[in-house]
């Protein structure tokens, strides 16, 4: 059988021989996989940076230095402070402003700085949570997209088999193999996305707990000062 000799099953010929919906599914899955990996590496870097920033700031804060000096050091930097430092900056700025105004109730001052810190905290949390919904969607949906491509490809393979009088495995095998490539790529996109989502979600949770506890402690310190 001379056809068998030509029938090499390299992954390129498999993908090129697949039907159009399967090829579309493959393209979509490769793009989502690329994006999810891109976001994974971005999130790895940013969350790591937020954690080291929080560590550094806590070290600087709890060494017992002057709060005014710390604030000036942060604002003197041309870059906008991030993470825990930005919460501290927002709260202390508000507190200093209220302190300059005479006849201000201490509870109002504390309330204002608390609100400012809460706003900064929400902004920080929003940045930490960025791209996590995308990773969650990729992790849950891309297996189904891959499965869709596989089912379509296998349907095609068996439809082609029905027109042949003597069915052999070699007539369906290439179709099924090319269809299974879709599932493989879907899983390749989904597994790292799910793992990364779970890891990043827990990291963001721990960071948010750290931020909240810092807010409470800083409020106490400000109240003692005033």
Partner 1 sequence: MIRQYEKEISWKAGAYAIGVHLALLAALLISFNWKAAHPVQNIAEVELWDSLPKAEQQPVPVLEPVVKEQAKPEPVVEEAPKPVVEEKQEEPKVDIALENKKKALAKKEQAKKELIEKVLVEKELEQKKALAQKKQLDALKEEISKDKPTKNNTADALKKLQQEALADEKSEGDKQAVSAKASANAGVVGDYINKIQAKIRSNVNKTLCGEGNPELKFDIALLPTGQLSGSPKLVKTSGSSACDEAVERAIIASEPLPLPADTSLFSQFRNLKLKFRPND
- Is 31 near partner 1 (CB under 8 A)? no
Among 51, 111, 127, 212, binds partner 1 (CB under 8 A): 127
- Is 51 near partner 1 (CB under 8 A)? no
Among 64, 165, 224, 225, binds partner 1 (CB under 8 A): 165
Among 130, 151, 161, 176, binds partner 1 (CB under 8 A): 130
For partner 1, the closer of residues 40 and 182 by Cβ is: 40
- Is 34 near partner 1 (CB under 8 A)? yes
78-83 long-range contacts, CB within 8 A, separation 24+:
82/49, 82/50, 82/53, 82/124, 83/50, 83/53, 83/54, 83/57, 83/124, 83/207, 83/211
- Is 27 near partner 1 (CB under 8 A)? no
Instruction: Round to whole Å and give the CA distance between 84 and 54.
Output: 6
- Is 82 near partner 1 (CB under 8 A)? yes
Residue 177 structure tokens? 């193999």
- Is 106 near partner 1 (CB under 8 A)? no
Which residue is it, tokens 């993470």?
A: 83
Minimal distance, residue 129 CB to partner 1, in Å:
11
CB neighbour list of residue 174: distance below 8 Å, 6 or more residues apart: 7, 9, 14, 17, 157
Q: Which helix (H) or strand (E) holds 184?
A: helix 169-225
Stretch that binds partner 1, among 41-49, 139-147, 154-162, 211-219 (CB under 8 A): 41-49
CB neighbour list of residue 204: distance below 8 Å, 6 or more residues apart: 47, 125, 128, 129, 132
Q: Which 183-202 residues touch partner 1, going by CB under 8 A?
A: 184, 188
**DSSP sequence for 26-50:** HHHHHHHHHHHHHHHHHHHHHHHHH
Among 7, 68, 213, 220, binds partner 1 (CB under 8 A): 7
Minimal distance, residue 84 CB to partner 1, in Å:
15
Instruction: Round to whole Å and give the CA distance between 158 and 176.
Output: 9
Among 66, 166, 224, 225, binds partner 1 (CB under 8 A): 166
Minimal distance, residue 104 CB to partner 1, in Å:
34
For partner 1, the binding residues (CB under 8 A) are: 1, 4-5, 7-11, 30, 33-35, 37-42, 44-46, 82, 127, 130, 165-166, 168-170, 173, 184, 188
């Amino acid at each position: 059988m001379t056809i068998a000799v030509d029938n090499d099953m390299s992954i390129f010929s498999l993908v090129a021989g697949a039907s159009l919906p399967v090829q579309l599914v493959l393209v979509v899955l490769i793009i989502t996989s690329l994006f999810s990996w891109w976001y994974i590496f971005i999130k790895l870097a940013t969350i790591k940076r937020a954690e080291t920033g929080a560590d550094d700031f806590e070290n600087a804060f709890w060494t017992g230095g002057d709060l005014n000096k710390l604030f000036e050091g942060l604002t003197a930097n041309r870059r906008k402070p991030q993470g825990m430092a930005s919460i501290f900056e927002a709260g202390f700025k508000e507190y200093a402003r209220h302190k300059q105004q005479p006849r201000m109730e201490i509870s109002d001052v504390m309330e204002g700085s608390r609100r400012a810190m809460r706003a900064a905290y929400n902004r920080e949390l929003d940045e930490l949570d960025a791209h996590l919904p995308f990773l969650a969607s990729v992790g849950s949906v891309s297996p189904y997209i891959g499965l869709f491509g596989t089912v379509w490809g296998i349907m095609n393979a068996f439809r082609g088999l029905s027109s042949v009088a003597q069915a052999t495995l070699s007539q369906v095998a290439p179709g099924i193999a090319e269809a299974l490539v879709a599932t493989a790529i879907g899983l390749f996109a989904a597994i790292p996305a799910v793992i990364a989502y779970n890891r990043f979600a827990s990291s963001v949770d721990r960071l948010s707990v750290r931020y909240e506890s810092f807010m409470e402690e800083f409020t106490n310190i400000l109240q003692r000062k005033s």
